[in-house]
Structure 1
């Protein structure tokens, strides 16, 4: 293993601007034949990971900048020494994300023909494979009361920030969508899309009095690959449309880093994981859909999965248009029960 003391790149992990090569590397380093040499490969790796795993690119580049910059390895034993030098996280646990970033870089080396698959297997063998423990079913439970307490605990530097964060949490609960989908729905919200969606799918105009249906295929998810499973429509109470207009007019933008639990809440450790909102929605809809919806399909649970983007467009063997119409119909009949159970519209 060699450490050449290369200068770290002075740029954000998103790599929106790249360093001038000659300012960062010497010719000898650029021409390095070492199998593991992130300093040589960084610019090409950054483009590769942003294309292959956009949602992970920022974190992985940051970890590699921190732990592989200025280091080279030709053998698994040399890589082992680098890996063993990575300190634990602030909580005292092994830095799983750093290990995953190095594995990703090795995948890049294989994909670009720099090393063989057999060599990659040997290199990966020295990287700890830290698996996350499956959450017990009892730990996946969150109640409507828990959700209300989370929203009440929101903090912010201005009234508009507080409003934005509460609206984000309300939409998580009412739509059952993923966090990045809700963030981008809010950031890119255009009320005209609701009208377009009703017309495109032939939804009854009178439903607009109770629900909004938003075509999520009109929402760009910059950190997700196009093929990635995603929500097709967002359905939520009509009352939230005015809140979305207010948010859009404020000019405030939601990002991953300003919607963490620790960022948004006064007492984050007291509350459950925000990802559980999605599970709560699924459970509540499945528990109540058959008794609440008039003439529900026998496989209504398929449509609940469709609402959350958990299922393909043609789930149940039916066409996309039918699924949108009937998923929206289910929500129309369920929305009053949802609002009553959650009790968060006025918070």
Structure 2
């Protein structure tokens, strides 16, 4: 069983909050631990927002408690009446995260059956200790770079399989592939986007995330791959250019990596287009449809490669420039 960071933070923060509250002689010191548990969040951004929402809700709850309990009385029905007013207030102010936290303060005030200045100060200290320790613990967030790199590698492996299977199908109409990589790519992209979002929230001063553009690029490439699949099924095996396209896809499958060598394949694609243009004009409806599908397929491949080309500086260009400088 794996113990997560939130569990560890909760296990450390709860007794720490109780100990601090007890050391300061705060009434209902156990409540400080409850407040800390409620404040542990999965990201720094959520932690700051949660802390503000809970603190604000607790202050409003204290004011409402003083008005309702001291005016109407300490009665269970009054608690219900107050909540009927308090909860819509938190919804209106968009601080509903603080409902559970402030409920602890409301019940503490109700159970005391009185409100002195010292007791209200105690409750304020409970809020500061509970929310504050939760906020301090959430300042530490483990880096998600390792997980994101793992998602990147798995995603590229699945892209390689899909491209290779396309080549196999074009070459020999192999239909043994179950297509599980398609589903896996969808899952990996969803998981990666969630990780990127969480990691972005852990770096409040960083406007752009290094992995966001990468996974967005792969997502758009995946959409193009899905559009290619029905097109390759319509290519006849005996068509002269089919073998060249199969070889192209096989080469493309070996070139799925974080680098950028798209320009090489764009050049190869241009050669394929020239070959395609040199073919005899279609003489039947079937040949015409085949050429139309082939034209669309070449267009989708080009868009696929252009996405990678625009994503980052070409590694091929840098290598070529280095070679050119050496020759000079």
TM beyond 0.5: no
Give 1 or 2: higher helix fraction: 2
Give 1 or 2: higher strand fraction: 1
TM-score using structure 2 length: 0.30
